[in-house]
Structure 1
Amino acid sequence: MRIAISCIIVNYNTANFTLDCVASIFDMHQSTEAIEVIVVDNASEKKDYLLLKTKLQQENFPNTKLIRSKQNFGFGAGNMIGINAASNCEYYAFINNDTLQLTDNCLWILKEFMDSTPDAGVCSPQMLDEDKKFRSTIDHFSSLSREILKRSFLEKVNPKKYPSRKNFFHKPTIVNYVQGSFMFFNAEDFNEIGGFDTNLFLFYEESDLGLRLLKERKKYAYIFPETQYIHFKSISIKKNINILIKRELKISLLYHTYKHYGFFAHQFLLNFLRIRYGLTSIVKPKYFQLFKLLIRGAHLSESLKQKQSLKKL
Protein backbone atom coordinates (compact mmCIF):
# COMPACT_ATOMS: atom_id res chain seq x y z
CA MET A 1 0.00 0.00 0.00
CA ARG A 2 1.30 3.47 -0.89
CA ILE A 3 2.23 5.66 2.05
CA ALA A 4 -0.23 8.55 2.40
CA ILE A 5 1.13 10.28 5.53
CA SER A 6 4.73 10.56 6.70
CA CYS A 7 5.09 11.54 10.36
CA ILE A 8 8.40 13.23 11.16
CA ILE A 9 9.49 13.30 14.81
CA VAL A 10 12.75 14.82 16.06
CA ASN A 11 14.34 13.48 19.24
CA TYR A 12 16.91 15.34 21.31
CA ASN A 13 17.84 13.71 24.61
CA THR A 14 14.22 12.84 25.42
CA ALA A 15 13.88 9.25 24.27
CA ASN A 16 11.06 8.30 26.65
CA PHE A 17 8.86 11.14 25.37
CA THR A 18 9.61 10.11 21.80
CA LEU A 19 8.66 6.49 22.49
CA ASP A 20 5.36 7.56 24.06
CA CYS A 21 4.69 9.86 21.11
CA VAL A 22 5.26 7.10 18.55
CA ALA A 23 3.16 4.65 20.57
CA SER A 24 0.27 7.12 20.73
CA ILE A 25 0.21 7.44 16.95
CA PHE A 26 -0.26 3.71 16.49
CA ASP A 27 -2.58 3.35 19.49
CA MET A 28 -4.98 6.05 18.25
CA HIS A 29 -5.29 4.94 14.63
CA GLN A 30 -7.26 1.89 13.56
CA SER A 31 -5.49 1.73 10.20
CA THR A 32 -1.77 2.44 9.98
CA GLU A 33 -0.76 0.60 6.80
CA ALA A 34 -0.48 3.88 4.86
CA ILE A 35 1.22 5.80 7.70
CA GLU A 36 4.97 5.85 8.22
CA VAL A 37 6.88 7.28 11.17
CA ILE A 38 10.38 8.66 10.77
CA VAL A 39 12.26 9.45 13.98
CA VAL A 40 15.30 11.68 13.61
CA ASP A 41 17.72 11.62 16.51
CA ASN A 42 19.31 15.08 16.48
CA ALA A 43 22.72 14.07 17.92
CA SER A 44 21.45 13.13 21.37
CA GLU A 45 23.79 11.79 24.01
CA LYS A 46 24.74 8.18 23.30
CA LYS A 47 22.78 6.81 26.26
CA ASP A 48 19.57 8.47 25.11
CA TYR A 49 20.01 7.38 21.50
CA LEU A 50 20.70 3.76 22.46
CA LEU A 51 17.60 3.69 24.68
CA LEU A 52 15.53 5.02 21.80
CA LYS A 53 17.00 2.56 19.31
CA THR A 54 16.60 -0.46 21.60
CA LYS A 55 13.01 0.31 22.59
CA LEU A 56 11.92 1.01 19.01
CA GLN A 57 13.36 -2.34 17.95
CA GLN A 58 11.60 -4.10 20.82
CA GLU A 59 8.25 -2.50 20.06
CA ASN A 60 8.63 -3.26 16.35
CA PHE A 61 6.29 -0.48 15.24
CA PRO A 62 5.28 -0.92 11.58
CA ASN A 63 6.68 1.44 8.91
CA THR A 64 8.99 3.13 11.42
CA LYS A 65 12.52 4.33 10.71
CA LEU A 66 15.16 5.73 13.04
CA ILE A 67 17.81 8.05 11.63
CA ARG A 68 20.80 9.26 13.63
CA SER A 69 22.33 12.65 12.87
CA LYS A 70 25.97 13.27 13.77
CA GLN A 71 25.22 16.87 14.68
CA ASN A 72 22.34 18.82 16.17
CA PHE A 73 21.31 20.94 13.21
CA GLY A 74 18.23 22.39 14.92
CA PHE A 75 14.48 21.90 14.65
CA GLY A 76 13.96 22.71 10.98
CA ALA A 77 17.03 20.94 9.69
CA GLY A 78 16.25 17.90 11.82
CA ASN A 79 12.84 17.70 10.21
CA MET A 80 14.40 18.05 6.77
CA ILE A 81 16.60 15.02 7.49
CA GLY A 82 13.36 13.15 8.07
CA ILE A 83 11.87 14.50 4.84
CA ASN A 84 14.84 13.17 2.88
CA ALA A 85 14.03 9.69 4.18
CA ALA A 86 10.27 9.97 3.67
CA SER A 87 8.30 8.10 1.06
CA ASN A 88 6.58 9.89 -1.82
CA CYS A 89 3.42 10.74 0.11
CA GLU A 90 0.47 13.13 0.10
CA TYR A 91 0.98 14.68 3.53
CA TYR A 92 3.71 15.35 6.08
CA ALA A 93 2.88 15.47 9.77
CA PHE A 94 5.58 17.27 11.74
CA ILE A 95 4.96 16.19 15.31
CA ASN A 96 6.97 17.22 18.35
CA ASN A 97 8.19 14.30 20.38
CA ASP A 98 6.68 15.80 23.56
CA THR A 99 3.13 15.32 22.29
CA LEU A 100 0.43 12.67 22.56
CA GLN A 101 -2.46 12.00 20.20
CA LEU A 102 -5.88 12.51 21.79
CA THR A 103 -8.35 12.09 18.93
CA ASP A 104 -9.06 8.68 17.42
CA ASN A 105 -7.82 8.54 13.81
CA CYS A 106 -6.60 12.11 14.06
CA LEU A 107 -4.28 11.92 11.03
CA TRP A 108 -7.01 10.50 8.80
CA ILE A 109 -9.45 13.19 9.92
CA LEU A 110 -6.89 15.88 9.10
CA LYS A 111 -6.26 14.27 5.71
CA GLU A 112 -9.97 14.27 4.94
CA PHE A 113 -10.19 17.96 5.87
CA MET A 114 -7.17 18.88 3.73
CA ASP A 115 -8.47 16.81 0.80
CA SER A 116 -11.71 18.78 0.87
CA THR A 117 -10.14 22.24 1.42
CA PRO A 118 -8.20 23.30 -1.68
CA ASP A 119 -6.82 26.53 -0.18
CA ALA A 120 -5.36 24.74 2.88
CA GLY A 121 -1.60 24.26 2.84
CA VAL A 122 -1.21 23.26 6.47
CA CYS A 123 -3.47 22.62 9.44
CA SER A 124 -3.22 21.71 13.08
CA PRO A 125 -5.39 20.14 15.77
CA GLN A 126 -6.14 22.12 18.92
CA MET A 127 -3.27 21.94 21.38
CA LEU A 128 -3.92 21.12 25.05
CA ASP A 129 -1.59 20.98 28.03
CA GLU A 130 -0.84 17.86 30.06
CA ASP A 131 -4.03 18.47 32.10
CA LYS A 132 -6.04 18.63 28.87
CA LYS A 133 -6.65 22.34 29.29
CA PHE A 134 -6.60 24.89 26.48
CA ARG A 135 -3.24 25.92 25.09
CA SER A 136 -2.79 28.54 22.39
CA THR A 137 -2.28 26.89 19.00
CA ILE A 138 -2.14 29.86 16.62
CA ASP A 139 -0.04 32.98 16.26
CA HIS A 140 0.41 36.06 14.09
CA PHE A 141 3.20 36.48 11.57
CA SER A 142 6.29 38.06 13.04
CA SER A 143 6.43 41.70 11.94
CA LEU A 144 7.53 45.13 13.17
CA SER A 145 4.03 45.84 14.49
CA ARG A 146 3.91 42.55 16.40
CA GLU A 147 7.34 43.00 17.93
CA ILE A 148 6.91 46.67 18.89
CA LEU A 149 3.19 46.99 19.66
CA LYS A 150 2.85 43.40 20.94
CA ARG A 151 0.22 40.79 20.18
CA SER A 152 -2.36 41.73 22.82
CA PHE A 153 -2.61 45.32 21.60
CA LEU A 154 -3.00 44.23 17.97
CA GLU A 155 -5.73 41.77 18.95
CA LYS A 156 -7.67 44.52 20.71
CA VAL A 157 -7.45 47.16 17.98
CA ASN A 158 -7.91 44.81 15.00
CA PRO A 159 -9.49 41.52 16.10
CA LYS A 160 -10.48 40.60 12.54
CA LYS A 161 -6.89 40.65 11.30
CA TYR A 162 -5.45 39.45 14.61
CA PRO A 163 -7.85 36.92 16.18
CA SER A 164 -7.14 36.29 19.83
CA ARG A 165 -4.69 33.51 20.49
CA LYS A 166 -6.73 32.74 23.60
CA ASN A 167 -9.84 31.84 21.59
CA PHE A 168 -11.04 28.27 21.58
CA PHE A 169 -12.14 27.95 17.97
CA HIS A 170 -15.19 25.81 17.27
CA LYS A 171 -14.78 25.33 13.53
CA PRO A 172 -11.92 25.22 11.01
CA THR A 173 -10.50 28.74 10.84
CA ILE A 174 -7.84 30.44 8.73
CA VAL A 175 -4.98 31.82 10.83
CA ASN A 176 -1.52 33.23 10.09
CA TYR A 177 0.24 30.12 11.29
CA VAL A 178 -0.08 27.17 13.64
CA GLN A 179 2.41 26.08 16.26
CA GLY A 180 5.22 23.79 15.17
CA SER A 181 4.39 21.11 17.69
CA PHE A 182 1.89 19.58 15.22
CA MET A 183 1.80 20.74 11.61
CA PHE A 184 -0.05 18.69 9.00
CA PHE A 185 1.27 19.83 5.61
CA ASN A 186 0.20 19.21 2.06
CA ALA A 187 3.40 17.54 0.82
CA GLU A 188 3.29 19.15 -2.63
CA ASP A 189 2.97 22.65 -1.16
CA PHE A 190 5.70 21.99 1.39
CA ASN A 191 8.07 20.67 -1.26
CA GLU A 192 7.35 23.54 -3.65
CA ILE A 193 8.27 26.22 -1.09
CA GLY A 194 11.47 24.37 -0.24
CA GLY A 195 10.57 23.11 3.23
CA PHE A 196 12.11 24.45 6.41
CA ASP A 197 14.67 27.23 6.16
CA THR A 198 17.64 25.48 7.77
CA ASN A 199 19.33 28.80 8.55
CA LEU A 200 16.93 28.95 11.50
CA PHE A 201 18.26 26.79 14.32
CA LEU A 202 15.34 27.45 16.66
CA PHE A 203 12.27 29.72 16.57
CA TYR A 204 10.24 31.50 13.88
CA GLU A 205 10.18 28.47 11.59
CA GLU A 206 6.36 28.42 11.60
CA SER A 207 6.05 32.12 10.75
CA ASP A 208 8.56 31.69 7.95
CA LEU A 209 6.74 28.65 6.54
CA GLY A 210 3.36 30.35 6.79
CA LEU A 211 4.53 33.48 4.99
CA ARG A 212 6.17 31.51 2.18
CA LEU A 213 3.12 29.29 1.85
CA LEU A 214 0.94 32.37 1.44
CA LYS A 215 3.29 34.29 -0.87
CA GLU A 216 4.38 31.44 -3.13
CA ARG A 217 1.40 29.07 -3.14
CA LYS A 218 -1.57 31.24 -2.10
CA LYS A 219 -2.34 28.67 0.56
CA TYR A 220 -3.46 29.18 4.15
CA ALA A 221 -2.91 27.73 7.59
CA TYR A 222 -6.00 26.40 9.38
CA ILE A 223 -6.68 25.40 12.93
CA PHE A 224 -8.90 22.30 12.98
CA PRO A 225 -10.30 22.12 16.54
CA GLU A 226 -12.33 18.95 16.03
CA THR A 227 -9.05 17.12 16.65
CA GLN A 228 -6.85 17.63 19.70
CA TYR A 229 -3.45 16.68 21.08
CA ILE A 230 -1.42 17.09 24.27
CA HIS A 231 1.81 19.06 24.21
CA PHE A 232 4.11 18.97 27.22
CA LYS A 233 6.02 21.99 25.82
CA SER A 234 9.77 22.56 25.56
CA ILE A 235 10.87 19.55 27.57
CA SER A 236 14.14 19.35 25.59
CA ILE A 237 15.13 22.96 26.44
CA LYS A 238 16.94 23.21 29.76
CA LYS A 239 15.90 26.07 32.00
CA ASN A 240 19.50 26.87 32.97
CA ILE A 241 20.29 28.05 29.44
CA ASN A 242 17.53 30.65 29.42
CA ILE A 243 19.75 33.54 28.28
CA LEU A 244 21.12 31.44 25.41
CA ILE A 245 17.57 30.80 24.27
CA LYS A 246 16.83 34.54 24.38
CA ARG A 247 19.92 35.14 22.26
CA GLU A 248 18.75 32.57 19.72
CA LEU A 249 15.29 34.15 19.65
CA LYS A 250 16.74 37.51 18.66
CA ILE A 251 19.08 36.04 16.05
CA SER A 252 16.20 34.16 14.42
CA LEU A 253 13.84 37.13 14.68
CA LEU A 254 16.25 39.52 12.97
CA TYR A 255 17.04 36.99 10.23
CA HIS A 256 13.31 36.42 9.66
CA THR A 257 12.67 40.18 9.54
CA TYR A 258 15.39 40.80 6.96
CA LYS A 259 14.24 37.86 4.85
CA HIS A 260 10.57 38.85 4.67
CA TYR A 261 10.52 42.63 5.18
CA GLY A 262 13.89 43.86 3.94
CA PHE A 263 16.89 45.87 5.06
CA PHE A 264 15.16 48.94 6.50
CA ALA A 265 12.72 46.92 8.62
CA HIS A 266 15.66 44.85 9.87
CA GLN A 267 17.68 47.94 10.82
CA PHE A 268 14.71 49.59 12.53
CA LEU A 269 14.02 46.50 14.63
CA LEU A 270 17.71 45.98 15.43
CA ASN A 271 18.08 49.54 16.74
CA PHE A 272 14.81 49.28 18.67
CA LEU A 273 16.09 46.12 20.38
CA ARG A 274 19.46 47.74 21.09
CA ILE A 275 17.78 50.60 22.93
CA ARG A 276 15.38 48.28 24.74
CA TYR A 277 18.00 45.85 26.01
CA GLY A 278 20.55 48.57 26.64
CA LEU A 279 18.13 50.11 29.12
CA THR A 280 17.03 46.73 30.49
CA SER A 281 20.62 45.64 31.18
CA ILE A 282 21.09 48.62 33.52
CA VAL A 283 18.58 47.15 35.99
CA LYS A 284 19.02 43.50 34.95
CA PRO A 285 22.73 42.90 34.31
CA LYS A 286 22.14 39.38 33.01
CA TYR A 287 20.81 40.96 29.80
CA PHE A 288 24.08 42.76 29.12
CA GLN A 289 25.41 39.91 26.98
CA LEU A 290 22.20 40.04 24.96
CA PHE A 291 22.75 43.78 24.50
CA LYS A 292 26.32 43.12 23.33
CA LEU A 293 25.02 40.55 20.84
CA LEU A 294 22.64 43.16 19.40
CA ILE A 295 25.42 45.75 19.19
CA ARG A 296 27.39 43.24 17.11
CA GLY A 297 24.34 42.77 14.86
CA ALA A 298 23.06 39.38 16.12
CA HIS A 299 24.18 37.62 12.96
CA LEU A 300 23.53 33.98 12.11
CA SER A 301 27.23 33.34 12.68
CA GLU A 302 26.51 33.63 16.42
CA SER A 303 23.67 31.11 16.39
CA LEU A 304 23.79 28.03 18.58
CA LYS A 305 23.87 26.09 15.33
CA GLN A 306 27.51 27.14 14.88
CA LYS A 307 28.44 25.75 18.29
CA GLN A 308 27.28 22.16 17.79
CA SER A 309 29.91 19.43 17.80
CA LEU A 310 29.94 16.16 15.92
CA LYS A 311 28.91 13.08 17.86
CA LYS A 312 30.40 9.65 17.43
CA LEU A 313 27.82 7.16 16.17
Structure 2
Amino acid sequence: MITISVVSHGQSALVEELLKDLARLDMPMIAEVLITLNIPEEILFEPDDFPYPVSVLRNTAPRGFGANHNAAFRQAKGEWFCVLNPDIRLVENPFPVLLEEITRLSAAVIAPMVITPNGGVEDSVRRFPTPFSLVIKFLGCGDGRYIFAAEDVTFRADWVGGMFMLFRAGDFRAIAGFDEKYFLYYEDVDICARLWKSGRSVLACPKVRVIHDAQRASRRSLRYMRWHMVSMLRYLWKHW
Protein backbone atom coordinates (compact mmCIF):
# COMPACT_ATOMS: atom_id res chain seq x y z
CA MET A 1 0.00 0.00 0.00
CA ILE A 2 1.21 3.48 -0.94
CA THR A 3 1.23 6.72 1.05
CA ILE A 4 1.27 9.73 -1.27
CA SER A 5 2.74 13.02 -0.02
CA VAL A 6 1.87 16.30 -1.75
CA VAL A 7 2.99 19.77 -0.63
CA SER A 8 0.93 22.80 -1.63
CA HIS A 9 2.26 26.36 -1.80
CA GLY A 10 -1.09 28.05 -2.38
CA GLN A 11 -1.80 25.45 -5.08
CA SER A 12 -5.10 24.04 -3.86
CA ALA A 13 -6.59 24.04 -7.37
CA LEU A 14 -3.69 21.94 -8.70
CA VAL A 15 -3.93 19.58 -5.73
CA GLU A 16 -7.62 19.06 -6.41
CA GLU A 17 -6.92 18.12 -10.05
CA LEU A 18 -4.27 15.64 -8.92
CA LEU A 19 -6.68 14.08 -6.42
CA LYS A 20 -9.28 13.78 -9.18
CA ASP A 21 -6.73 12.00 -11.38
CA LEU A 22 -5.99 9.52 -8.60
CA ALA A 23 -9.72 8.89 -8.13
CA ARG A 24 -10.50 8.64 -11.84
CA LEU A 25 -7.84 6.00 -12.46
CA ASP A 26 -9.13 3.70 -9.69
CA MET A 27 -6.03 3.00 -7.58
CA PRO A 28 -6.84 0.52 -4.81
CA MET A 29 -3.14 0.40 -3.86
CA ILE A 30 -3.35 3.91 -2.35
CA ALA A 31 -3.41 3.70 1.45
CA GLU A 32 -3.68 7.46 2.02
CA VAL A 33 -2.87 10.87 0.59
CA LEU A 34 -1.22 13.44 2.88
CA ILE A 35 -1.60 17.05 1.72
CA THR A 36 0.70 19.55 3.44
CA LEU A 37 -0.32 23.21 3.20
CA ASN A 38 3.01 24.99 3.46
CA ILE A 39 1.41 28.43 3.62
CA PRO A 40 -2.07 29.46 4.81
CA GLU A 41 -4.71 28.76 2.17
CA GLU A 42 -8.29 27.61 1.85
CA ILE A 43 -8.65 24.21 0.25
CA LEU A 44 -11.07 24.01 -2.66
CA PHE A 45 -12.08 20.39 -2.09
CA GLU A 46 -13.59 18.19 0.60
CA PRO A 47 -11.20 15.42 1.74
CA ASP A 48 -14.15 13.03 2.09
CA ASP A 49 -15.02 13.39 -1.60
CA PHE A 50 -12.37 10.90 -2.70
CA PRO A 51 -12.30 7.07 -2.59
CA TYR A 52 -9.18 7.00 -0.41
CA PRO A 53 -8.26 8.69 2.89
CA VAL A 54 -7.09 12.29 2.45
CA SER A 55 -5.48 14.14 5.37
CA VAL A 56 -4.70 17.86 5.29
CA LEU A 57 -1.67 18.99 7.34
CA ARG A 58 -1.25 22.73 7.98
CA ASN A 59 2.13 24.27 8.75
CA THR A 60 2.43 27.07 11.29
CA ALA A 61 5.47 28.35 9.34
CA PRO A 62 6.78 27.52 5.85
CA ARG A 63 9.20 24.60 5.57
CA GLY A 64 11.49 23.42 2.82
CA PHE A 65 10.71 20.65 0.34
CA GLY A 66 12.54 17.94 2.27
CA ALA A 67 11.29 18.99 5.70
CA ASN A 68 7.68 18.88 4.50
CA HIS A 69 7.93 15.41 3.00
CA ASN A 70 9.90 14.10 5.99
CA ALA A 71 7.16 15.36 8.31
CA ALA A 72 4.53 13.64 6.18
CA PHE A 73 6.56 10.43 6.19
CA ARG A 74 6.54 10.36 9.98
CA GLN A 75 2.76 9.98 9.74
CA ALA A 76 2.79 7.61 6.77
CA LYS A 77 1.26 4.15 7.09
CA GLY A 78 2.13 2.72 3.69
CA GLU A 79 4.81 0.22 2.76
CA TRP A 80 5.67 2.60 -0.08
CA PHE A 81 6.12 6.39 0.08
CA CYS A 82 5.41 8.46 -3.02
CA VAL A 83 6.47 12.11 -3.32
CA LEU A 84 4.31 13.97 -5.85
CA ASN A 85 4.28 17.59 -6.99
CA PRO A 86 0.85 19.27 -7.19
CA ASP A 87 1.42 20.05 -10.88
CA ILE A 88 1.73 16.38 -11.88
CA ARG A 89 -1.08 15.11 -14.11
CA LEU A 90 -1.75 11.41 -14.57
CA VAL A 91 -2.78 9.97 -17.93
CA GLU A 92 -2.60 6.37 -16.72
CA ASN A 93 -2.16 4.50 -13.45
CA PRO A 94 1.64 4.38 -13.09
CA PHE A 95 1.81 2.36 -9.90
CA PRO A 96 1.32 -1.28 -11.01
CA VAL A 97 4.28 -1.09 -13.43
CA LEU A 98 6.45 0.96 -11.05
CA LEU A 99 5.84 -1.48 -8.20
CA GLU A 100 6.57 -4.45 -10.45
CA GLU A 101 9.82 -2.95 -11.71
CA ILE A 102 11.17 -1.73 -8.37
CA THR A 103 10.43 -5.14 -6.87
CA ARG A 104 11.96 -7.05 -9.77
CA LEU A 105 15.15 -4.96 -9.73
CA SER A 106 15.36 -4.56 -5.92
CA ALA A 107 15.84 -0.79 -5.92
CA ALA A 108 15.09 1.85 -3.28
CA VAL A 109 13.33 4.43 -5.46
CA ILE A 110 11.80 4.55 -8.93
CA ALA A 111 10.42 7.32 -11.13
CA PRO A 112 8.32 7.28 -14.30
CA MET A 113 9.05 9.05 -17.55
CA VAL A 114 8.08 12.72 -17.11
CA ILE A 115 6.79 14.62 -20.11
CA THR A 116 5.79 18.22 -20.71
CA PRO A 117 2.21 19.22 -21.60
CA ASN A 118 3.22 19.35 -25.27
CA GLY A 119 4.71 15.86 -25.21
CA GLY A 120 8.42 16.61 -24.83
CA VAL A 121 10.59 14.53 -22.47
CA GLU A 122 11.62 16.47 -19.36
CA ASP A 123 15.18 16.47 -18.07
CA SER A 124 14.12 14.63 -14.91
CA VAL A 125 16.64 11.76 -15.12
CA ARG A 126 20.27 12.84 -15.04
CA ARG A 127 23.81 11.92 -14.15
CA PHE A 128 25.22 13.38 -10.94
CA PRO A 129 26.47 16.94 -11.32
CA THR A 130 30.17 17.65 -10.94
CA PRO A 131 32.01 20.97 -11.11
CA PHE A 132 33.08 20.09 -14.66
CA SER A 133 29.60 19.04 -15.80
CA LEU A 134 28.11 22.25 -14.39
CA VAL A 135 30.59 24.30 -16.42
CA ILE A 136 29.64 22.29 -19.51
CA LYS A 137 25.96 22.93 -18.78
CA PHE A 138 26.59 26.67 -18.29
CA LEU A 139 28.26 26.74 -21.71
CA GLY A 140 25.21 25.07 -23.25
CA CYS A 141 27.04 21.89 -24.20
CA GLY A 142 24.91 19.35 -22.29
CA ASP A 143 23.04 19.02 -19.02
CA GLY A 144 23.79 15.41 -18.11
CA ARG A 145 20.35 14.04 -18.96
CA TYR A 146 19.89 10.41 -19.96
CA ILE A 147 18.50 9.93 -23.46
CA PHE A 148 15.62 7.47 -23.66
CA ALA A 149 12.23 7.02 -25.29
CA ALA A 150 8.79 5.88 -24.21
CA GLU A 151 8.53 2.14 -23.59
CA ASP A 152 12.30 1.71 -23.19
CA VAL A 153 13.35 -0.79 -20.54
CA THR A 154 13.69 0.34 -16.94
CA PHE A 155 17.28 1.36 -16.18
CA ARG A 156 19.46 2.39 -13.26
CA ALA A 157 20.10 6.13 -13.18
CA ASP A 158 22.22 8.41 -11.03
CA TRP A 159 19.25 10.50 -9.89
CA VAL A 160 15.61 11.21 -10.68
CA GLY A 161 13.61 14.39 -10.20
CA GLY A 162 11.60 15.08 -7.06
CA MET A 163 8.35 15.81 -8.89
CA PHE A 164 7.55 12.06 -8.72
CA MET A 165 9.57 9.61 -6.62
CA LEU A 166 8.26 6.27 -5.34
CA PHE A 167 10.35 4.99 -2.40
CA ARG A 168 10.37 1.82 -0.41
CA ALA A 169 9.40 3.19 2.99
CA GLY A 170 12.08 1.09 4.68
CA ASP A 171 14.85 2.51 2.49
CA PHE A 172 13.59 6.09 2.91
CA ARG A 173 13.64 5.56 6.68
CA ALA A 174 17.07 3.90 6.64
CA ILE A 175 18.77 7.00 5.25
CA ALA A 176 16.64 9.41 7.33
CA GLY A 177 14.74 10.77 4.34
CA PHE A 178 15.58 14.07 2.68
CA ASP A 179 18.38 16.28 4.00
CA GLU A 180 16.47 19.22 5.50
CA LYS A 181 19.46 21.53 5.21
CA TYR A 182 18.38 22.04 1.60
CA PHE A 183 15.44 24.44 1.61
CA LEU A 184 14.62 24.04 -2.07
CA TYR A 185 16.41 22.32 -5.01
CA TYR A 186 18.94 19.48 -5.01
CA GLU A 187 17.10 17.49 -2.31
CA ASP A 188 16.34 14.87 -4.97
CA VAL A 189 19.94 14.74 -6.21
CA ASP A 190 21.23 14.47 -2.66
CA ILE A 191 18.89 11.67 -1.55
CA CYS A 192 19.73 9.64 -4.65
CA ALA A 193 23.45 10.13 -4.01
CA ARG A 194 23.01 8.92 -0.44
CA LEU A 195 20.98 5.92 -1.59
CA TRP A 196 23.74 4.90 -3.99
CA LYS A 197 26.41 5.42 -1.32
CA SER A 198 24.42 3.20 1.06
CA GLY A 199 24.47 0.33 -1.45
CA ARG A 200 20.94 0.95 -2.76
CA SER A 201 19.94 1.87 -6.30
CA VAL A 202 17.75 4.31 -8.26
CA LEU A 203 15.54 3.42 -11.23
CA ALA A 204 13.94 5.31 -14.12
CA CYS A 205 11.00 3.61 -15.80
CA PRO A 206 10.06 4.89 -19.30
CA LYS A 207 7.33 2.25 -19.50
CA VAL A 208 4.91 4.67 -17.77
CA ARG A 209 4.44 8.42 -18.21
CA VAL A 210 3.23 11.37 -16.19
CA ILE A 211 2.77 14.99 -17.26
CA HIS A 212 4.54 17.82 -15.44
CA ASP A 213 3.81 21.49 -16.08
CA ALA A 214 7.08 22.78 -14.67
CA GLN A 215 7.15 26.33 -13.28
CA ARG A 216 10.95 26.84 -13.53
CA ALA A 217 10.73 29.59 -10.93
CA SER A 218 14.50 29.77 -10.50
CA ARG A 219 14.78 31.16 -14.05
CA ARG A 220 12.47 34.08 -13.32
CA SER A 221 12.94 34.96 -9.65
CA LEU A 222 16.13 36.16 -8.00
CA ARG A 223 15.04 34.58 -4.71
CA TYR A 224 14.52 31.17 -6.30
CA MET A 225 17.73 31.54 -8.26
CA ARG A 226 19.58 32.23 -5.02
CA TRP A 227 18.07 29.11 -3.40
CA HIS A 228 19.10 27.12 -6.46
CA MET A 229 22.70 28.34 -6.30
CA VAL A 230 23.00 27.82 -2.53
CA SER A 231 21.65 24.26 -2.83
CA MET A 232 24.01 23.49 -5.71
CA LEU A 233 27.02 24.68 -3.71
CA ARG A 234 25.85 22.74 -0.64
CA TYR A 235 25.56 19.57 -2.74
CA LEU A 236 29.04 20.01 -4.26
CA TRP A 237 30.59 20.71 -0.85
CA LYS A 238 28.89 17.68 0.67
CA HIS A 239 29.51 15.13 -2.07
CA TRP A 240 32.63 16.44 -3.83
Q: Fold conserved (TM > 0.5)?
A: yes
What 5-or-longer segments of structure 1 have no aligned partner? 156-161, 262-313
Separation in structure 2 between the aligned mates of residue 27 and residue 35 of structure 1, nearest angstrom:
16
In the alignment, which residue of structure 2 is the partner of 1:114? Answer: 102
Separation in structure 2 between the aligned mates of residue 66 and residue 147 of structure 1, nearest angstrom:
39
1:14-25 residue pairs with structure 2 within 5 A? 14-25=11-22
Q: Aligned to 2:34, what secondary structure does the other structure show?
A: strand
8 Å Cα contact 2:47/2:53 also seen in 1: no
In the alignment, which residue of structure 1 is the partner of 2:88? Answer: 99
From 250, 253, 263, the equivalent of 2:232 is 253
8 Å Cα contact 1:42/1:69 also seen in 2: yes
| CA-based RMSD | 2.2
**1:182 positional shift:** 0.4
In the alignment, which residue of structure 1 is the partner of 2:159? Answer: 177
**1:60 positional shift:** 4.2
Separation in structure 2 between the aligned mates of residue 117 and residue 58 of structure 1, nearest angstrom:
36
8 Å Cα contact 1:80/1:196 also seen in 2: yes
Q: 1:65 to 1:195 in 2, by over 3 A?
A: same
Report the AA paired with residue 243 of structure 1.
L
Q: 1:86 to 1:168 in 2, by over 3 A?
A: same
Report the AA paired with residue 227 of structure 2.
E
Report the AA paired with residue 23 of structure 2.
F
Q: 1:57 to 1:149 in 2, by over 3 A?
A: closer
Separation in structure 1 between the aligned mates of residue 7 and residue 65 of structure 2, nearest angstrom:
7
In the alignment, which residue of structure 1 is the partner of 2:28? Answer: 31
Q: Which structure shows the higher helix fraction?
A: 1
Separation in structure 2 between the aligned mates of residue 238 and residue 258 of structure 1, nearest angstrom:
21
Residues 228-248 of structure 1 show CA distances to partners (whole Å, capped at 9, x for unaligned) of: 11111128x4976x1111111
Q: Aligned to 1:51, what secondary structure does the other structure show?
A: coil
Residues 99-119 of structure 1 show CA distances to partners (whole Å, capped at 9, x for unaligned) of: 111223x2222112212211x
1:168 aligns with 2:149: yes
Separation in structure 1 between the aligned mates of residue 135 and residue 120 of structure 2, nearest angstrom:
30
In the alignment, which residue of structure 2 is the partner of 1:207? Answer: 189
1:20-169 residue pairs with structure 2 within 5 A? 20-32=17-29, 34-44=30-40, 49-52=41-44, 55-57=45-47, 59-87=49-77, 89-104=78-93, 106-118=94-106, 120-150=107-137, 153=141, 164-168=145-149
Provide the TM-score with structure 1 as the length reference.
0.70
Q: Which structure shows the higher strand fraction?
A: 2
Report the AA paired with residue 124 of structure 1.
A
Q: 1:9 to 1:193 in 2, by over 3 A?
A: same
From 2, 5, 20, the equivalent of 1:5 is 2
Residues 67-95 of structure 1 show CA distances to partners (whole Å, capped at 9, x for unaligned) of: 011111121111112112211x3211101
Identity %: 21
**1:57 positional shift:** 3.4
Separation in structure 2 between the aligned mates of residue 56 and residue 142 of structure 1, nearest angstrom:
42
Separation in structure 1 between the aligned mates of residue 17 and residue 5 of structure 2, nearest angstrom:
14
Q: Aligned to 1:9, what secondary structure does the other structure show?
A: strand
Q: 1:13 to 1:134 in 2, by over 3 A?
A: same
Residues 125-151 of structure 1 show CA distances to partners (whole Å, capped at 9, x for unaligned) of: 111112333222201212212222338
Count of matched residue pairs = 238
Larger Rg: 1
In the alignment, which residue of structure 2 is the partner of 1:226? Answer: 207
Q: Aligned to 1:50, what secondary structure does the other structure show?
A: coil
Residues 166-220 of structure 1 show CA distances to partners (whole Å, capped at 9, x for unaligned) of: 432611011111111100111111110110111101111111011100001x122
